[in-house]
Amino acid sequence: RNLKRQMPCRVDIDRLNTPFIAIYESLIPPEEEKAKQKQLLTLLQRLVTKEWPEGRLFLYGSCANSFGVSRSDIDVCLAIGDANINKSDVLLKLADILQSDNLQDVQALARARVPIVKLMDPVTGISCDICINNVLAVVNTKLLRDYAQIDERLRQLAYIVKHWAKSRGVNETYRGTLSSYAYVIMCIYFLQQRRPAILPCLQEMEITYSVTVDNIECKFYDQVEKLRKFGSRNKETIAQLVWGFFNYWAYRHDYANDVISIRTGSVISKREKDWTRRIGNDRHLICIEDPFEISHDLGRVVDKYSIKVLREEFERAAHIMQDSPHPCESLFEPY
């Protein structure tokens, strides 16, 4: 491993920019999808308002964080100010209302880890999950979207990493690999670490946005339109960054001791967070701090078997980026 740690990037790396950009562009959803999502959201808001006049719907997840591919399901949060409501009651009531308005495949999953109502809208063809009062997800969605506006290379890198993870079967939390949310955080962290940096650390800057959700203060700098030039001193191209990302996770990350943290824009030690041993089901084999729920390790789902799978995939990708004559083909080969 140490030998590879020193490895310089292949000399013909920039030959890969055009194909990577082409893949990125093919994954971006067309504008009319946004319009359809809005249309569905308006319909749902009208139904919700009749029953809960104070209830507000928010999009979160990939349909709102600017890292969503074409034809994804949309994630919606119903925010009801009252914290004392019984979520299952609301969920069942909501399912009833939606059903009687001709929405299809309506299903209330009241016992799931995050309880949701699922539905499909026959008019727009969009499938949608609605959860209740999961406002933290709405706020972390905004953080990701704000980061994406600072430098286009984040969106490019994250689309390619997500596409790789889905193709290789390592984007399945129920099987012990990482969520899309975790991969985007890993990309943000990686770009914060470049020298010169490509992304700043928004949570360490002057506070221009602040909300308290579930007793957690979420605050950061959000006037990102003023940061459009932030990364311009760094001239690295997308192909170099994809190479560097996989090289980092294959050979350079210290899995035994380090936690990555976009909140601080730096690495934190596992010891400092007391993430050195298994507690319950949290094994901390790859440590990714949530930007707001800082006791939350997004790598907690990874177990002693899936960490091997994951690290072998990082090494495979690093190897392909270094040596393969056609990395854009082999990288995304179905597993």
| Contact residues for ligand GTP, defined by CB under 6 A | 60-62, 65, 67-68, 72, 75, 136-137, 140-141, 179-181, 290, 293, 296, 298
Could you report how far apart the first and last alpha carbons of the chain are, in Å? 24
Amino acid sitting at position 201 = C
* Contact call for residue 62 and Mg ion (CB under 5 A): yes
303 binds, among Mg ion, ligand GTP, none (CB under 5 to 8 A by kind): none
The minimum distance between CB 92 and ligand GTP, in angstroms, equals 22
The minimum distance between CB 287 and ligand GTP, in angstroms, equals 13
231 binds, among ligand GTP, Mg ion, none (CB under 5 to 8 A by kind): none
Half-sphere CA count of 258, side-chain side, radius 13 A: 11
Which CB atom, from 188 or from 298, has the smaller least distance to ligand GTP?
298
Residue 219 β-bridge partners:
210
Instruction: From 139, 133, 137, select the one nearest 85 (Cα to Cα).
Output: 133
Which CB atom, from 13 or from 154, has the smaller least distance to ligand GTP?
154
The minimum distance between CB 60 and ligand GTP, in angstroms, equals 5
* Contact call for residue 61 and Mg ion (CB under 5 A): yes
* Contact call for residue 55 and Mg ion (CB under 5 A): no
The minimum distance between CB 244 and ligand GTP, in angstroms, equals 23
- 3 state SS of 173: helix
What is the torsional sign of CA 194, 195, 201, 202? Answer: negative
Which CB atom, from 61 or from 327, has the smaller least distance to Mg ion?
61
Residue 174: exposure state from Cβ atoms within 10 A (0-12, 13-18, ≥19): exposed
The minimum distance between CB 184 and ligand GTP, in angstroms, equals 7
Neighbour tally for 254: CB within 10 Å: 10
